[in-house]
């Protein structure tokens, strides 16, 4: 396995795209390196609120079963319930590795908000680092992230917030980038001219 790439930061930011379907295992060493790099994100008061749970191999099947059961629990019709359960159970199998990034919920609301923001920055760093290494990755969420059964399976506290389930693989098996990323952004420039005409 070789993940070497000479991509610079701006190129990585510009060319990263979500790739949710992938194949090819990623080694523990590489995942640990991605996590170490990603967690150098800005973090007010260095609270380090994040936790990573790496779900690989057959553990993805167990995660799918747990989630499938919870997702289907409220469906009365047996056929529809089974279809929902089976469909949801397959989702963690879309990539060889699912890296669950969660954050603890601080009792102080401001700290909790800042911890959430810091963890989101960590996720983006992780995606960029993975992309720079030539790997495929996508940030996924959905109702699974608030499931108590899933949190229990992952060894998380019910008060922890799952910020991302990063699907990770050595090679993408879908074509990314069909979305228009010419983003619409409002920029208000407060420069000297704005101050003199206000
Ligand atoms: C907080 C957050 C949650 C997301 N959840 C999902 C998701 O559940 N499923 C999904 O397909 N993509 C999800 N995405 C990825 C976005 O859909 C994706 O980044 C966006 O469409 C732009 O595509 P790109 O990443 O290829 O540039 C999520 C992104 C963020 C930031």
Nearest atom of ligand 1 to the alpha carbon of 138: 15
Q: Quote the ligand 1 centre to 98 CA distance (angstroms).
A: 15
- Cα separation, 97 vs 167, in Å, equals 6
Q: Quote the ligand 1 centre to 198 CA distance (angstroms).
A: 39
Q: Is 69 exposed, middle or buried, given 0-12, 13-18 or 19+ CB atoms closer than 10 A?
A: middle
pTM of the model: 0.93
Please name the CATH architecture into which domain 17-175 falls: 3-Layer(aba) Sandwich (3.40)
More confident residue, 44 or 179: 44
DSSP for residue 10: H
DSSP for residue 162: E
Q: Can you tell me the mean pLDDT for 126-148?
A: 97
Q: Quote the ligand 1 centre to 186 CA distance (angstroms).
A: 21
Answer whether residue 82 shows pLDDT above 80. yes
- To test the ligand 1 pocket, which listed residue (139, 142, 150) has its Cβ within 8 A of the most ligand atoms? 139
- To test the ligand 1 pocket, which listed residue (18, 127, 183) has its Cβ within 8 A of the most ligand atoms? 18
Do the bridges between strand 50-56 and strand 136-140 make them parallel or antiparallel, or are there none, so unpaired? Answer: unpaired
Percent of the chain with pLDDT over 70: 93
User: What does the mean pLDDT of the chain come to?
Assistant: 93
Q: Quote the ligand 1 centre to 37 CA distance (angstroms).
A: 21
- Cα separation, 188 vs 183, in Å, equals 16
pLDDT at 72 (0 to 100): 94
Q: Can you tell me the mean pLDDT for 169-186?
A: 82
- Cα separation, 102 vs 53, in Å, equals 8
Q: Is 65 exposed, middle or buried, given 0-12, 13-18 or 19+ CB atoms closer than 10 A?
A: middle
Give CA separation, 195 vs 62, 103, 182, 187, in Å: 60, 41, 30, 16
pLDDT at 178 (0 to 100): 63
Q: Quote the ligand 1 centre to 177 CA distance (angstroms).
A: 12
Which protein residues touch ligand 1 with a CB less than 6 Å away? Answer: 17-18, 20, 139-142, 176, 179, 181
């Amino acid at each position: 396995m070789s993940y070497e790439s000479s991509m610079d930061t701006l190129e990585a930011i510009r060319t990263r795209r979500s790739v949710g379907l992938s194949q090819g295992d990623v080694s523990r060493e590489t995942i640990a390196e991605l996590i170490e790099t990603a967690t150098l994100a800005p973090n007010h008061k260095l609270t380090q609120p994040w936790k990573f749970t790496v779900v690989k191999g057959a553990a993805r099947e167990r995660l799918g079963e747990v989630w499938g059961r919870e997702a289907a629990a409220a469906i009365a019709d047996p056929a529809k319930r089974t279809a929902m359960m089976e469909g949801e159970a397959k989702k963690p199998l879309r990539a060889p590795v699912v890296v669950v990034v969660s954050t603890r919920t601080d009792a102080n609301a401001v700290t909790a908000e800042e911890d959430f923001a810091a963890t989101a920055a960590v996720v983006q760093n992780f995606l960029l680092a993975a992309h720079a290494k030539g790997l495929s990755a996508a940030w996924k969420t959905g109702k699974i992230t608030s499931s108590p059964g899933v949190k229990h399976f992952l060894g998380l506290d019910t008060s922890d917030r799952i910020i991302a389930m990063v699907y990770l693989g050595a090679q993408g098996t879908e074509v990314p980038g069909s979305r228009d990323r010419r983003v619409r952004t409002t920029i208000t420039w407060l420069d000297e001219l704005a101050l003199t005409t206000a």
